[in-house]
A and B are shown apart, each in its own frame.
Chain A
Amino acid sequence: MSHVINVFISLQQTDLHCVSALEALRYSIGFTELTQLRRLRKISFMVDVDNKPGAIDCVKRCVNESFDLVNPNKETVYFDELPELPGTGWYGIQVTANEAPLRSVSSLSFASHPKIISAEQGLQWLLKIDSSDSSEQVMTKIDTFCGPTTSVNRGLLVNSLFETYLIQSIS
C-alpha cells in the first residue's frame, strides 16, 4: 500500500519572492486585503510502505540523508504538516508544474530509498487575508487577484498555461 507524504520547506530568512509578490499583489493589482504572504517548497513523496508513520519515517530518512533536497543551514522542513500559523484568515494556493515534476529533485537522493516510488515538486503559498467576507468569497477573490495570471491587472502566483493550482482554506 502506498502513502503520499507532503514535505514543506521554508526559508529561515526573508523570502524575497514573497516581498516582491506581496507588493505586486497589494499595490499593482490592488488586493489590499492580503496582509501576509509566505512561500514553501513542497515535495510530495509517494512511498510504498504499509502504514503512514512508517512512510513518514522513510521520507525523513531520505530528506535527512540527502544533500540537495533541503539545506538545513537556511531552511526548515515540515513533514506532512504545514508550519503553525498565527491567528486565523489563512488560505493556501498549491502550485504544481504540468511538466517536469521532478525538477531539482535528484534521482541520486532516492538511490538508497527504493520504497520511494515518486516525488513531485511544487510550491505552497500561504496567504493571510484580512476580510469579513465568507470563506467562499475570499477564495473567489484569491482566485481572481492572486491565482492564475490573466492580464497585467489580474493574477500572479500561477501561470495556468503550464501550472495547475488548488486554492485551500487553512485556518
Chain B
Amino acid sequence: MKKPKLIVLQFPGSNCEYETHRAASYYGFESRIVRWNSLDEIDDANAIILPGGFSYQDRVRSGAISSKLPILKKIIMKASSGVPVLGICNGCQILAEAGLIAGVNKGQVEIGMAPNTRDGLPVGFICDWKYLVVKNPKRSVFTQYYDENEVLPIPVNHGEGRFVVSKSVSNELINLASFRYSDHQGVESTSFPINHNGASYGLAAISNVDGNVMGMMPHPERAARLRQIPVSISGEWREKKRQLLSGGSDGVGPSEKLFVGMRDAARETQ
C-alpha cells in the first residue's frame, strides 16, 4: 500500500521538526520537512504536522505571528477538505491563533494559549513527563484507536500551554477534549501538579468539531518509541521499559496509536 504523504512544517524557530519527521516515518508516513514559505509543496499532502518550537521567537505571543502567514490559509483549506492536521506544542499554539481549533464557529479564534499559572500565579516554563487520559476517542482521527480513559505517559515542554476557551467552546468542552492531564492511574485533576499549567478543564489536547484537526501541548514524537520512555514512569510503561533494559527489544511507545490513527485517516485522502 502506498504510504500517505506527510508534511512537517518548519517555521523560523521550530525545533522539533526532525524528531517529528522520524516518528512519523517510523509509523508509515512518507514524511518530509517543508519550509513555511514553500506554499506549493503542501498541495499534495495527505496529512500535516505543525511541530513544536518557538516560531518567530514567540514574538507578540506564541504562535501569533506564524498564524498570519500565507501558508496558514492553505492549511485551513486543507483541513476543511478533511486532511488530518496535528499541532504539537508551538504547533498547537499556531492552530489556536489561526482559529483551527476548536472550530465550533468556523474561522473564529476560540482557544487562547496563555502563560502557565498555578493558582493564578506564574510558574514559568515546565519540562516534565506527564500522564494523559484519553477522552472521546471516537470523535477524533488521532485518538480513534485508543480506549476511553486509557492512560499514557508523555513529555511536556512549554511556558504558554494553558488552554483558555471562549464561551462557545466551554459548552462543548466535554465533547471536544481529546486528552486531559491525569495521574498514572487516570485520575483527572484540574489543580497543580497534575494540571501543571492551570489549563481549563485540565485540557492537554483538543480536537476540532470535525475530528481531523487536533492541537496538543504534550509532545507525542518524544513518546513514539519505547526507548524514549524514562524508567521513572509509573504504570504499564514502566514494566515495558524494564523489559527493554533487561535485554528486550525496542518497541512502540505510548503515542503509537495517535500516529497510526493519523496515518489511516491520511490514507483516506489519497
Contacts and interface: CB of A to CB of B under 8 A. Distances in A.
Interface of A: 16-17, 20-21, 24, 28-29, 97, 99-100, 102-104, 149-152, 155-157, 159, 161-162
A152 B107 CA distance: 8
Interface stretch (B40-48, B81-89, B110-118): B110-118
A28 B108 contact: no
A17 B59 contact: yes
Contacts of A102: 121-122
A156 B165 contact: no
Nearest to B61: A159
A20 B60 contact: yes
A161 B64 contact: no
Given A16-B59, A152-B67, 18 more contacts: A17-B59, A20-B56, A20-B65, A21-B60, A28-B68, A100-B117, A100-B120, A102-B122, A103-B115, A149-B109, A150-B108, A151-B109, A152-B72, A152-B107, A156-B60, A159-B109, A161-B112, A161-B166
Contact of B114 (A29, A99, A104, A149): A99
B243 interface: no
Given A16-B59, A152-B76, A161-B164, A103 B112 contact: no
Nearest to B162: A162
Interface string B189-209: 000000000100000000000
17 contacts: A16-B57, A20-B59, A21-B65, A24-B68, A29-B68, A99-B198, A100-B115, A100-B117, A100-B120, A102-B121, A151-B108, A151-B109, A152-B72, A152-B76, A152-B98, A152-B107, A156-B64
B115 A152 contact: no
A156 B56 CA distance: 14
Contacts of B98: 152
A102 B120 CA distance: 10
Contact of A28 (B59, B70, B109, B162): B70
B165 A149 contact: no
A17 B62 CA distance: 11
A24 B111 contact: no
B69 interface: yes
Interface core residue of A103, A157, A159 (most chain B CB under 10 Å): A159
B97 interface: yes
A155 B99 CA distance: 12
Give me the 9 closest cross-chain CB pairs, A-B, nearest first. A161-B112, A28-B68, A162-B114, A24-B68, A100-B122, A17-B59, A20-B59, A162-B164, A20-B65
Given A99-B117, A151-B99, A156 B122 contact: no
B73 interface: yes
Nearest to A15: B59
A10 B122 CA distance: 23
